[in-house]
Amino acid sequence: MADRDKIRNFCIIAHIDHGKSTLADRILEMTGVLTAREMEDQVLDNMDLERERGITIKAQAVRLNYKASDGNEYVYNLIDTPGHVDFNYEVSRTLSACEGAVLVVDASQGIEAQTLANVYLAIDHNLEVVPVINKIDLPAAQPEVVRKEIEDVIGLPADDAPLISAKVGIGIEEVLEQIAQKIPAPQGDETAPLKALVFDSYYDAYRGVIVYVRIVDGSVKRGDTIRFMSTGNEYTVTEVGFFKPGTLLPAAEISAGEVGYIAAAIKDITDATVGDTVTLKDRPAAEPLPGYKAVQPMVFCGIYPVDGADYDALRDALFKLKLNDASLTFEPETSQALGFGFRCGFLGLLHLEIIQERLSREFDLDLLTTTPSVIYYVYLTSGEVITLDNPSNFPDVSTIEHIEEPMVRGTIMTPKEYVGNIMELCTDRRGEFVNMDYLEETRVVLTFNLPLNEVIYDFFDALKSRTRGYASLDYELIGYQPSKLVKLDIMLNGQIVDALSFIVHEEKAYGRARKIAEKLKDVIPRHQFEIPIQACIGGKIIARETVKAYRKDVLAKCYGGDITRKKKLLEKQKEGKKRMRQFGNVEVPQEAFLTVLKLDSDN
């Protein structure tokens, strides 16, 4: 059991690619938890996908020992946070488990929207922020400019911010020293009733759910009966302990100020949700820790196996992912076009993409995804209000009083020369300009209120392409507002393809309909007959294109009995057909479904 004065609970916050995980690696190395040879790069990001994308999806924690220059031995609990807006709530809970944050800023890139968002979040949680300037070894590094930026933009003193290169290992010692000196030790009353904040969890096949907790007050040990305060569910603790890189270290007890885990043979991860407070059944806390909220998915889409025979495999895969991801929701859904699949709910687009990629990568599933949707509130003339997350359930227009859609406050940070482009983009996406602030001479922060359904609709790509990748975006939900929304259907050869339907603002319907029809015309291969592509709202056709019929499909001359070569060509052709979806007698390639997802107005 560590002396509480010598405990430092902290996280590292940074923009993607600014070197958060590399710094974590170096810290692990320096504190001797792992030798360089033992560790795989970026130990904390231990999913393949996380490593590839350079992002953190699930929080990770690790306990380290550090002997500081003051002669004292410190216990460091380093908690790695997810770094993306989709996981803002998770980030906020992680921050609640810490007293300090190491802010990593890239010496060549400076501060980005996400950095700012996370720093403010940290300051809101009363964290001591320790700025660090990374990548000083890069030729484009401007550490002094960035130092000034930290002071001017964030308002943090940065005169003694360590100049480091996590990659080559410069300045890490200084970071470790400042953690000990600047970040306060945890408070808390060991004798008070148990209050433990759940900041993450994962499913372990042998021990059940491993609940990541920060003990705020009291203590917990094996054999205790714990209670989750949001649900009242109770479990007997089978194990408590601390985090070692890649493993768990059982301990007799964990108490106030500590970061550790509790295992209690919990079967379902949704019973240990992030933000909940754990207390003891026999001596419960009077009230839970503040800030708990049930996580609500914001973005929905249908996920279907390309091969109908994979339906069971897809279901099993979703259950497996759900074991470790309480925010993923799914329920069976049937599409006329795509057959049997699942309606899935996600925290945001990145979350959606991650799940999609994990399904195809880890479970080797070939999938089709429908246009993402947000949750609309549909007020019916009958007085009833329905929540709508699937265009297929769009009620008859005559029964609709009005519809409300979710709005977000978007914060965009950009070099000032792109302001015009961003203004244009946001206006085009029905954004309402709120504010513009100069961070410094060359960089500004733009604030817009935007409909979420426009943001999930390839907004990131459009933003990146209009700012040559320089702008960064952060957003938060700010509520609902009435909006003139319609359902746009796409008909192929006279038949509605339900998987291509989506909900769109009336004013944008025509433009988008035209573009989709044009794109579909390019991606749908010619058939033996002519295929009309029509976009319509409630039966009224607003755009039309035609895929002309092709008249021949024959092979070139076969020379000298080399039939194998011909067969290979045919196989390739057939393989291409197999990957298509049959709608009536029209074969539609998977690309067609992506077409409606990615339709940047510039292309």
Where do contacts with another protein occur on this chain (CB under 8 A)?
528, 550-565, 567, 570-571, 573-574, 577
DSSP run (H or E) holding 417: none
Tokens describing residue 129:
């922020």
Kindly report the backbone phi and psi dihedral angles of residue 151, in degrees, each rounded to the nearest multiple of 5, phi listed first. Answer: -70, -45
Nearest to another protein of 309, 563 (CB atom): 563
At its nearest, how many Å lie between another protein and the CB of residue 364?
24
Strands 234-236 and 225-228: antiparallel
At its nearest, how many Å lie between another protein and the CB of residue 309?
18
At its nearest, how many Å lie between another protein and the CB of residue 521?
17
**CA–CA dist 396, 349 (Å, integer):** 29
At its nearest, how many Å lie between another protein and the CB of residue 570?
5
Residue 362, judged by CB atoms within 10 A of its CB (0-12, 13-18, 19+), counts as middle
Nearest to another protein of 574, 598 (CB atom): 574
At its nearest, how many Å lie between another protein and the CB of residue 52?
32
CA dist 185 → 7, 127, 274, 563 (Å): 6, 11, 23, 77
Nearest to another protein of 433, 550 (CB atom): 550
**CA–CA dist 396, 113 (Å, integer):** 41
Q: Strands across the sheet with 7-14, in order?
A: 60-67, 73-80, 7-14, 100-106, 128-134
At its nearest, how many Å lie between another protein and the CB of residue 456?
37
Nearest to another protein of 249, 569 (CB atom): 569
Nearest to another protein of 290, 561 (CB atom): 561
Nearest to another protein of 468, 567 (CB atom): 567
Nearest to another protein of 223, 560 (CB atom): 560
- What count of other Cβ atoms lies within 10 Å of the Cβ of residue 205? 6
Q: Are residues 23 and 132 in contact, defined by beta-carbon separation less than 8 angstroms?
A: yes
SS (HEC) of 153-214: HHCCCCCCCCECECCCCECHHHHHHHHHHHCCCCCCCCCCCCEEEEEEEEEECCCEEEEEEE
Strands 400-415 and 385-388: unpaired
Nearest to another protein of 331, 553 (CB atom): 553
Q: Are residues 354 and 87 in contact, defined by beta-carbon separation less than 8 angstroms?
A: no
Tokens describing residue 45:
């990001």
Q: Which among 338, 339, 340 has a CA at the least distance from the CA of 330?
A: 340
**CA–CA dist 288, 197 (Å, integer):** 9
Nearest to another protein of 293, 565 (CB atom): 565
At its nearest, how many Å lie between another protein and the CB of residue 527?
10
Nearest to another protein of 267, 565 (CB atom): 565
Residue 78, amino acid: L
At its nearest, how many Å lie between another protein and the CB of residue 563?
7
- Intra-chain end-to-end CA distance of the chain, in Å: 61
**CA–CA dist 162, 142 (Å, integer):** 14
At its nearest, how many Å lie between another protein and the CB of residue 39?
46
Q: Are residues 218 and 268 in contact, defined by beta-carbon separation less than 8 angstroms?
A: no
Tokens describing residue 550:
């092709």
At its nearest, how many Å lie between another protein and the CB of residue 577?
7
Nearest to another protein of 86, 587 (CB atom): 587
**CA–CA dist 78, 60 (Å, integer):** 8
**CA–CA dist 201, 261 (Å, integer):** 9
Kindly report the backbone phi and psi dihedral angles of residue 6, in degrees, each rounded to the nearest multiple of 5, phi listed first. Answer: -100, 10
Nearest to another protein of 441, 562 (CB atom): 562
DSSP state of 373: B
At its nearest, how many Å lie between another protein and the CB of residue 515?
24
At its nearest, how many Å lie between another protein and the CB of residue 557?
5
